[in-house]
């Protein structure tokens, strides 16, 4: 249940267009992390922009000049200035109109008046164009959307003095207003996708002809048509147009078709599934076709999830400003490390959207996700997951396999040693050896691995437990040698078994008594193993509540170690596998850092969220930042953590301009007047500038900037693609 004051979650994803329009929206190729749906490239550099004050001042002065010139002409103050001819500016019109029309008694006098006012309109147009160019009115319109209505008041006396014989011009004006209003309405309808709304509401004319789709129209499934599956393509196209096929269905069927192309023997089954089930073909094992709740914006065609927008900030490259920022498996495959204090938005603005996206891709049979968080963290409702493992809680649907589903005692010992003491010792091989000397004989004797209480007794050297195990393997010399070696090591003062026994005791608590069983009886909960990441599963692991902090960290390290082993040992690596740790405090070990480096080659990755790098051993902070390809520093991180990020992101060469201004002081009256006009127009005094341009090496983001200059709700993010492409650190607004 959400805490008081928190609004309820929306019941669906924020969508604005139908599936057909969504499929037809262009997705141009772009740099890593760019939200490609409807993306438009920005110019590489910012154009020179006139300051707003200077732009408006120049436009207003140009308007005043045009108004003054028109007033002088209209009121006759410029008569006789041009070869002593009255109203010289009317000469071109008088040359075209016969003299007989100019007499008031002439039957063509009305035409003469109409021609006169038409000539006024021509002159006004010339004035508007000329003074509009001088005053940069076009830039005012493009930048601020200000209509050029002041041009109509350049003629303060025209409409007042207009004779009744030309009242038809008022009708022309009304027609102009009507056409202008229709143009605005058409533009608004185009931007607001009114035709799509009309179709969505079902008010479109059913007899309206439908435009024939082109061969490349994704709604028509051209890949299937090119392969000769016309019937299947027609079935899916009809479901798409009728709104029966969703974005998850599209991604799932596309995934199935890719499998058919690599394994042609699946073609018959694929065709039959599409023919009989339509949009529900090739369904996820759960039978679900969508999540019960979506809180982020997703594009299943590119497997992207929108997490924010690049801030319009001078520190960001101009070409990336205001563009959307999205994550996808090709980026998460290099692993992601997010560092930020509590309340900075790591869970709500990063972890939950990523988990939600991976769950959608799992429903499309494209990914497997294991999300790990403390109990009560809002990563999604239980219905959004196939498996919910609540450690130590009775409502858990599954128990957790302590040994990761392996049958190899050495592998089980290595994983368990990493979980128990990986945060305390730099090399856990001695601990793994001690565990293997006990786990191996136990499995050989009982055909199973020891449960937590049994393992604790063996590690503590309880005589009864060791004697019983020795008696059980009495006929196996190899296992007896293992026990003898363990007994010899037990006599040493630096034996790691003591430390292992102390750590395993955190799991040997009454709250977990029925959770790590290795002997399964009828009616008990099934066990979940990380080996299942070979299937498109959605798994959520809820760690114990407060009071079992150390047990939670052991389980987190156990899951990380098991995930690395399972991902590296998969046979089918076409499925993206991802482990998301909402709180990776004291989870990172030397072995896990080495494993993270290898995950990108097997189509897998991890997402690690930390409150601070202080939660990672000092010797591993640098290697961890180097092992992950995506790094994210949230607002409010400590300066020493910012220093680590700054060192990792390195420096860049930038061009600096040192400008020295010296005010020009003149004693001449004319020069003083010109300087005064310049101050009024530009807002600056007349100065002489000396500019020095230098190339300097500067940190992309300094420790101080990361600690104090990142606004709330923002983060600095750098991304790396599995192909090796990368982006510089960008300031991202996560609230957009």
Is the model's pLDDT at 615 over the cut of 80?
yes
Question: Residue 418: which of 619, 556, 528 has the closest Cα?
Answer: 556
CA of residue 117 relative to chain centroid, distance: 59
**How many Cα neighbours within 13 Å face the side chain of 518?**
19
Residue 163 CB contacts under 8 Å (≥ 6 apart), including other chains: 113
The percent of residues above 90 in pLDDT, for the chain, comes to 43
Checking if the pLDDT of 111 tops 80, the result is no
pLDDT-derived band of residue 174, with 50, 70 and 90 as boundaries? low
**In the predicted structure, residue 711 carries a pLDDT above the cut 80:** yes
- Of the ranges 122-126, 150-154, 324-328, 530-534, the best mean pLDDT one: 324-328
Domain boundaries, the chain: 52-166, 218-280, 289-401+534-650+701-736, 403-506, 653-699
Both structure tokens of 433: 């050896």
Mean pLDDT for the stretch of residues 247-274? 92
Nearest to 73 by CA among 442, 65, 203: 65
Q: Which residues of 719-730 are buried (b: 16+ CB within 10 A; e: fewer)?
A: bbbbeeebbbbb
Lowest-pLDDT range of 38-52, 373-387, 475-489: 38-52
C-alpha span between 236 and 220 (Å, rounded): 8
Quickly state the pLDDT bin for 46 (edges 50, 70, 90).
low
Q: What tokens does 454 get?
A: 């049994």
pLDDT at 151: 39
Averaged over 717-730, what is the pLDDT? Answer: 94
Lowest mean per-residue pLDDT among 138-147, 428-437, 523-532: 138-147
Q: What is the pLDDT of residues 649-686, one digit of tens each?
A: 998 888 888 888 777 777 777 777 777 777 777 777 77
Across 323-339, average pLDDT:
96
Give the H/E segment covering residue 697: strand 687-699
More confident site: 205 or 504: 504
- Reading phi first (left if > 0) and then psi (alpha if -120 to 50, else beta), residue 136 is in left
Average pLDDT (124-151) is 68
Quick check: 556 pLDDT over 60?
yes
Distance CA 254, CA 361 (A): 12
- CATH of the domain spanning 289-401+534-650+701-736, picked from 3.40.50.300, 3.40.50.720, 3.90.110.10, 3.90.45.10: 3.40.50.300
Comparing 182 with 508, which gets the higher pLDDT? 508
Question: Does residue 14 have a pLDDT over 80?
Answer: no
pLDDT value of position 520: 65
- 594 membership: H or E segment, kind and range: helix 590-599
Region 470-492 average pLDDT: 86
Average pLDDT in the 426-432 region? 83
Model pLDDT, residue 13: 41
Tell me the average pLDDT across 156-182.
Answer: 51
Average pLDDT, the chain: 81
What integer is the mean pLDDT of 148-172? Answer: 44
Confidence of residue 331 (pLDDT cuts 50, 70, 90): very high
Q: Given pLDDT bands bounded at 50, 70 and 90, which one contains residue 162?
A: very low
Confidence tier at 489 by pLDDT (50, 70, 90): confident
DSSP string, 291-349: -S---SEEETTTTEEEEEEE---TTS-GGGTT-EEEE-HHHHTT-EEEE--TTSSHIII
Mean pLDDT of 302-329: 93
- Residue 8 clears pLDDT 50, i.e. is over it: no
pLDDT score recorded for residue 210? 40
Q: How confident is the model at residue 428 (pLDDT cuts 50, 70, 90)?
A: confident
Is residue 108 over pLDDT 90?
no
Mean pLDDT of 594-617: 94
- Checking if the pLDDT of 534 tops 50, the result is yes
Best-predicted range by mean pLDDT (54-68, 301-315, 691-705): 301-315
Q: Is residue 522 pLDDT above 90, yes or no?
A: no
Nearest in space to 361 (alpha carbons), one of 373, 353, 369: 369
State the pLDDT confidence band at 203, using cuts at 50, 70 and 90: very low
Q: Please, which residues bridge with residue 633 across strands?
A: 339, 716
Determine the average pLDDT of the residues in 406-429.
87
- DSSP string covering 442-470: HHHHHSSPPPHHHHHHHHTT-HHHHHHHH
Most confident of 1-5, 60-64, 109-113, 299-303: 299-303
pLDDT band at 211 (very low <50, low <70, confident <90, very high): very low
> 76 or 347: which carries more pLDDT confidence?
347
């Amino acid at each position: 249940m959400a805490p008081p004051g928190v609004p309820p979650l929306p019941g669906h994803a924020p969508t604005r267009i139908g599936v057909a329009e969504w499929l037809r929206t262009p997705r141009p190729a772009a740099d890593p992390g760019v939200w490609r749906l409807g993306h438009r490239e920005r110019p590489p550099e910012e154009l020179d922009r006139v300051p707003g004050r200077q732009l408006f001042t120049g436009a207003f002065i140009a308007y005043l000049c045009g108004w003054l010139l028109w007033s002088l002409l209209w009121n006759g103050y410029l008569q006789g200035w041009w070869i002593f001819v009255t109203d010289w500016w009317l000469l071109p019109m008088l040359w075209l109109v016969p003299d007989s029309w100019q007499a008031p008694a002439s039957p063509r006098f009305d035409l003469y008046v109409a021609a006169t006012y038409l000539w006024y309109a021509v002159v006004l147009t010339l004035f508007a164009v000329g003074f509009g160019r001088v005053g940069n009115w076009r830039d005012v319109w493009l930048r601020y959307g200000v209509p050029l209505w002041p041009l109509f008041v350049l003629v303060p006396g025209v409409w007042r003095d207009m004779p009744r014989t030309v009242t038809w011009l008022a009708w022309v004006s009304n027609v102009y207003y009507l056409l202008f209003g229709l143009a605005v309405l058409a533009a608004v309808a185009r931007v607001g996708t009114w035709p799509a709304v009309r179709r969505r509401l079902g008010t479109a004319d059913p007899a309206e002809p439908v435009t024939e789709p082109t061969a490349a129209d994704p709604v028509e499934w051209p890949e299937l048509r090119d392969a000769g599956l016309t019937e299947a393509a027609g079935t899916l196209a009809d479901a798409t147009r009728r709104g029966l096929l969703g974005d998850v269905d599209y991604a799932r069927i596309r995934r199935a078709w890719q499998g058919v192309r690599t394994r042609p023997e699946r073609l018959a089954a694929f065709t039959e599934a599409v023919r009989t089930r339509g949009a529900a073909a090739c369904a996820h094992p759960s039978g679900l076709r969508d999540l019960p709740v979506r809180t982020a914006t997703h594009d299943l065609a590119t497997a992207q999830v929108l997490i924010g927008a690049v801030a319009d900030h001078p520190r960001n490259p101009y070409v990336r400003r205001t563009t959307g920022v999205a994550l996808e498996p090709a980026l998460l495959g290099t692993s992601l490390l997010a560092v930020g204090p509590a309340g900075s938005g790591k869970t709500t603005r990063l972890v939950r959207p990523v988990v939600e996206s991976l769950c959608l891709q799992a429903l499309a049979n494209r990914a497997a996700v294991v999300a790990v968080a403390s109990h009560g963290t809002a990563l999604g409702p239980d219905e959004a997951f196939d498996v919910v493992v609540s450690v130590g809680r009775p409502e858990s649907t599954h128990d957790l396999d302590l040994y990761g589903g392996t049958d190899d005692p050495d592998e089980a010992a290595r994983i368990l040693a990493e979980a128990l003491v990986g945060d305390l010792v730099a090399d856990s091989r001695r601990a793994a050896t001690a565990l293997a000397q006990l786990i191996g004989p136990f499995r050989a004797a009982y055909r199973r691995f020891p449960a937590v209480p049994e393992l604790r007794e063996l590690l503590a050297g309880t005589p009864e437990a060791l004697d019983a195990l020795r008696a059980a393997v009495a006929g196996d010399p190899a296992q007896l040698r293992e026990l003898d070696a363990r007994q010899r090591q037990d006599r040493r003062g630096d034996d790691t078994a003591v430390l292992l026994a102390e750590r395993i005791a955190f799991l040997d608590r009454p709250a977990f008594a029925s959770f790590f069983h290795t002997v399964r009886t009828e009616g008990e909960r099934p066990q979940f193993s990380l080996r299942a990441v070979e299937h498109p599963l959605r798994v959520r692991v809820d760690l114990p509540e407060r009071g079992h902090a150390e047990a939670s960290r052991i389980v987190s390290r156990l899951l990380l170690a098991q995930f690395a082993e399972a991902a590296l040992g998969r046979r089918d690596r076409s499925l993206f596998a991802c482990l998301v740790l909402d709180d990776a405090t004291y989870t990172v070990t030397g072995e896990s850092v080495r494993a993270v480096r290898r995950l990108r080659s097997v189509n897998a990755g991890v997402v690690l969220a930390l409150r601070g790098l202080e939660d990672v051993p000092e010797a591993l902070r640098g290697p961890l930042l180097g092992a992950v390809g995506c790094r994210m520093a949230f607002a409010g991180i400590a300066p020493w953590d910012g220093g680590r990020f700054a060192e990792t992101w390195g420096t860049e060469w930038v061009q600096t301009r040192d400008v020295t201004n010296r005010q020009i002081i003149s004693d001449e009256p004319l020069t003083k007047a010109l300087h005064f006009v310049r101050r009024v127009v530009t807002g600056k005094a007349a100065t002489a500038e000396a500019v020095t341009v230098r190339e300097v090496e500067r940190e992309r983001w300094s420790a101080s900037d990361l600690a104090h200059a990142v606004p709330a709700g923002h983060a600095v993010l750098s991304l790396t693609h599995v192909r090796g492409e990368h982006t510089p650190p960008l300031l991202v607004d996560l609230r957009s």
